[in-house]
Amino acid sequence: MPTLTGRSGPEPYLTRITSDSGHELLADEPLDKGGQNQGLTPGELLAASLSACVCITVRMYAERKQWPLANVEAQVTFERNEQHVVTQLSCSLQLAGELTDEQRQRLLKVAGLCPIHKTLMGAVPITTQLA
């Protein structure tokens, strides 16, 4: 099972996230929230996951069909409430290439079938425990 580990030291909110595959990224809060603005916020990381998954899923599908998709861009915006809970995600898909209207509509549908989209639309049980 893939594992990601977040580590936070004495700097307020700055968190180093490492994967067991050797990648690292930073998460933080903006300056006006007491952070150092050195990384994406947790909400931005959630939106980034959706954006990346949509792009990858659409690209894989187009390649498998040998469709002339030159570029794909998934712009994800999100709303949060006062408790910082993400309450809505919106994805705008831009497709570049000599695609027919039917191909564009199919790729739009495929975007909604990416694994992160499916995860966010379903209920995922989360357990939290002391190590």
Q: What is the pLDDT of residues 94-120, one digit of tens each?
A: 999 999 999 999 999 999 999 999 999
Residue 123 has pLDDT above 90, yes or no: no
Give me the pLDDT at residue 67, please.
98
Q: Does domain 41-131 have CATH number 3.30.300.20?
A: yes
Hey, where are the domains in the chain? Answer: 1-39, 41-131
Question: Which 3-state string (H, E, C) describes the chain?
Answer: CCCEEEEECCCCCCEEEEECCCCEEEECCCHHHCCCCCCECHHHHHHHHHHHHHHHHHHHHHHHHCCCEEEEEEEEEEEECCCCCEEEEEEEEEEEECCCHHHHHHHHHHHCCCHHHHHHHCCCCCCCCCC
